[in-house]
Amino acid sequence: MKKLINRPESVLADSLRGLAAAHPELRVDLERRVVYRAEPKAAGKVGLVSGGGTGHEPLHGGYVGPGMLDAAVAGEVFTSPTPDQIAAALGAVGTGAGVLQIVKNYTGDVMNFEMAAELAAAESGVEVETVIVADDVAVEDSTFTAGRRGVGTTVLLEKIVGAAAEEGQDLASVAGLARRVVNNGRSMGLALTSSTVPAAGKPTFQLEEGEIEVGIGIHGEPGRERRPIAPASELARLLVDPVLADLDFTAGPVIALLNGMGATPLIELHLMYGEVAALLDAAGVQVARRLVGNYITSLDMAGCSLTLLRVDDELLRLWDAPVVTPGLRWGA
Amino acid sequence: MGAATLNSLVAWLHGFAALVAANRDHLTELDSAIGDADHGSNLDRGMTAVVAALDAQPATDTADLFKRTGMALISNVGGASGPLFGTFFLRLGGALGASSSVSSLELASALRAGVSGVTVRGKAELGDKTMLDVLVPALDAWDAAPDPGDVAGAARAAAEAAAAARDATAPLVAHKGRASYLGERSAGHLDPGAASTALLFRALAEALEAPGAAEQ
């Protein structure tokens, strides 16, 4: 393992200290490991809290700021935060209008956020709604698994719902909007290499030279199948086909996210987007907005994922609304 | 014969912490195969916090001991293991109440309360390839021990059943947690939660077999 770290045990603390130094517009609670806006949103507006394991940067700390999240709770690398951390964030951003917590569908995240909502209600009386993102088509949505993982749709959801909260929509409508986004978003990813968790010190899984893993989540947990590497035009099909097979994306406009897993350069991501865009065009999918880059990563994993979200005029309006965060910034 | 003393239960937690530390890399390796490579480091961080809390302020009774253990795990581990192991100890302490010694039958019934907490929190069933696949057979063995009133003997029977149950998780297909995403490919690997749960019972048996652990 060769990484820019001090000690595997202090990666999270050291990284948060650096984030605070790099972004004076954020306030980082180093003890609770929560990233807040330095200047909180006006009171009386719905608070938005998200979080999860560290290692998916810029998710979630990089999406704190006007137009997006109020707080992001950081767990250890690839490990969900604990209930007391999350409850602290829920209490801090709850200003009377309630808080929506955005949770990705992983067993540990779901359990810790569930306990946190109970804790926050008991401790600070804040009303908490929860939305669980479960958009990964690589996972069979059956009662025999933990269900679909929450992946790329999380980024789009945090932006859209962030705009709605910013303009003063109430908790019920913000939560309803969040569920609408979840129901209309689908993702699929692939890996060229495994990531290396600092505490483990070696790659989570081994891929032979010339092998790829199709259907990965964002923790390097292995996916649907392993197959030989192929030209990008063929790999693009492995992403586009299962997403289109799962939901009809031809009825209206969509937002497309071609996301890098952390170690794939933009030259390859743009190249892949070109292939994906051509396939979507051929399939009759009308892409209204697009985002290409590292938005929900998996440490140093090479690979990418595709997320498509069906939108309407309202969702597009909220998408285009101003946002000022380290990870997304436009219109302001 | 006899009852487990508060000191022997404190020794259990110290012993479990030591076993987790010694097996930290092994647990993480098991988790790399079918999960996300953090089980050993997470549980080690949690048990280190438990030991630090107990060293800083000795437990006054069993309710205090296990409540603080559960809370330390919940607020230091994260992931799925924090709520699951944490809930286990919170329920265990709740069922035992504020005692200074515990009979074998009381301990078995409190451990059952812990298991039902894990079941509710994790929503897993037997055969899903989780820690539950070790907890349940271990307690069945406790009840079926030749003398279920002999706390050290019953704990030894439970520890042996736990080790066998851990090994029996290997061929199963995971239905819960990150391993479930592997589907059929999860078969052939030990479940990391089952492995750490087997250590929990091994530590209990060792603590209760130590001289002076049980009151006559």
pLDDT, one tens digit per residue, over B71-115 is 999 999 999 999 999 999 999 999 999 999 999 999 999 999 999
A175 and A199 assigned to the same domain:
no
The answer as to whether A330 is a domain residue is no
* Cβ–Cβ gap B181/A112 under 8 Å: no
Give the residue-averaged pLDDT of A39-58. Answer: 97
pLDDT at site B34: 87
Contact between B138 and B165 (Cβ < 8 Å): yes
Task: Flag the least confident range among A155-159, A219-223, B106-110.
Answer: A219-223
Q: What is the pTM of this model?
A: 0.93
Domain final residue, candidates A184, A212, A239: A184
The answer as to whether A250 is a domain residue is yes
pLDDT at site A106: 93
Give the residue-averaged pLDDT of A309-313. Answer: 98
pLDDT, one tens digit per residue, over B10-35 is 999 999 999 999 999 999 999 988 88
The domain segmentation of chain B, as residue ranges, is 3-208
pLDDT value at B125 more than 70: yes
A174 and A210 assigned to the same domain:
no
Measure the CA–CA gap between B74 and B85, rounded to whole angstroms: 8
Give the residue-averaged pLDDT of A173-181. Answer: 98
- Is A60 catalytic? The answer is no
Question: Looking at the complex, does the CB of residue A210 fall below 8 Å from at least one CB of chain B?
Answer: no
Phi, psi of B58 (to 5 degrees): -60, 145
- Is A56 catalytic? The answer is yes
Could you name the CATH architecture of B3-208? Alpha Horseshoe (1.25)
Measure the CA–CA gap between A282 and A271, rounded to whole angstroms: 17
Rounded-to-5 percentages of helix, strand, coil across chain A? 35, 25, 40
Give the residue-averaged pLDDT of A299-322. Answer: 98
A30 and A163 assigned to the same domain:
yes
CATH of the domain at A253: 3.30.1180.20
What ipTM goes with this model?
A: 0.89
* Cβ–Cβ gap A144/B180 under 8 Å: yes
A193 and A70 assigned to the same domain:
no
A164 and A197 assigned to the same domain:
no
Domain final residue, candidates A159, A184, A209: A184
pLDDT value at A107 more than 60: yes
CATH of the domain at A116: 3.40.50.10440
pLDDT at site A145: 73
Give the residue-averaged pLDDT of B186-209. Answer: 96
Question: Given pLDDT bands bounded at 50, 70 and 90, which one contains residue A144?
Answer: low
- Residues of chain A with Cβ-Cβ distance to B45 below 8 Å are 76
Contact between A66 and A323 (Cβ < 8 Å): yes
* Cβ–Cβ gap A107/B74 under 8 Å: no
A225 and A149 assigned to the same domain:
no
Task: Find which of A10, A85, A123, A145 to mutate to test the B interface (most B CBs within 10 Å of its CB).
Answer: A145
The answer as to whether A284 is a domain residue is yes
A86 and A160 assigned to the same domain:
yes
A86 and A147 assigned to the same domain:
yes
pLDDT, one tens digit per residue, over A244-263 is 999 999 999 999 999 999 99
Task: Find which of A79, A109, A118 to mutate to test the B interface (most B CBs within 10 Å of its CB).
Answer: A79
pLDDT value at A142 more than 70: no
Rounded-to-5 percentages of helix, strand, coil across chain B? 70, 5, 25
Q: Give how far B133 is from chain A: nearest CA, Å.
A: 16
Question: Given pLDDT bands bounded at 50, 70 and 90, which one contains residue B1?
Answer: low
Q: Select the residue of A53, A84, A139 nearest B75 (Cβ to Cβ).
A: A84
pLDDT value at B44 more than 90: yes
Give the residue-averaged pLDDT of A206-212. Answer: 92
Question: Looking at the complex, does the CB of residue A157 fall below 8 Å from at least one CB of chain B?
Answer: no
A143 and A192 assigned to the same domain:
no
Helix count and strand count (H, E) for chain A:
8, 14
Task: Flag the least confident range among A204-213, A226-235, B135-144.
Answer: A204-213
A167 and A311 assigned to the same domain:
no
* Cβ–Cβ gap A106/B178 under 8 Å: yes
Contact between A20 and A11 (Cβ < 8 Å): no
CA-based nearest residue to B81, from B210, B209, B159, B194: B194
Question: Looking at the complex, does the CB of residue A241 fall below 8 Å from at least one CB of chain B?
Answer: no
Domain final residue, candidates A133, A157, A184: A184
pLDDT, one tens digit per residue, over B145-159 is 999 899 999 999 999
- Residues of chain B with Cβ-Cβ distance to A220 below 8 Å are 36-37
pLDDT value at B216 more than 60: no
Question: Given pLDDT bands bounded at 50, 70 and 90, which one contains residue A221?
Answer: confident
The answer as to whether A3 is a domain residue is no
DSSP single-letter state for residue A80? P
Question: Looking at the complex, does the CB of residue A144 fall below 8 Å from at least one CB of chain B?
Answer: yes
Question: Looking at the complex, does the CB of residue A13 fall below 8 Å from at least one CB of chain B?
Answer: no
A138 and A236 assigned to the same domain:
no
A145 and A120 assigned to the same domain:
yes
CA-based nearest residue to B116, from B149, B85, B151, B91: B91
What range does the domain containing A50 cover? 12-184
